Amino acid sequence: MGRDRASVDRIVAHPGGAKVITALEQALELGQGALDLERDVLRDHGNMSAPTVLFVLERALAAGRTGRLMTTALGPGFSAAFTPVDVAA
């Protein structure tokens, strides 16, 4: 997509499960606990499939997160999608 990791202010991920969140933090070198909103949504609602990322995005926006957000969601089999979202302050 022509962007490097440093240009993204916050990853907004589909919380497919606790192991998925941990794997994303490790693979994207985010640091343990960086995907706190994902853990909150998983705890409150469970894994509702790929659209769960929209619940995480809603929380990020409600918390006042701005800048370049990158959403990511996982699908059945193995598929992954990433979408940049620019949010003005």
H, E, C per residue of 13-61:
ECCCCHHHHHHHHHHCCCCCCCCHHHHHHHHHHCCCCCCHHHHHHHHHH
pLDDT of residue 68: 92
Rounded average pLDDT over 64-77:
86
d(CA 47, CA 61): 20
Secondary structure class of 6 (helix, strand, coil): helix
Tokens of 45: 């609602």
Supply 32's token pair: 């343990």
Q: Give 53 or 81, the one with higher predicted confidence.
A: 53
- List the CATH code of the domain at 5-87: 3.40.47.10
- Total-model pTM: 0.83
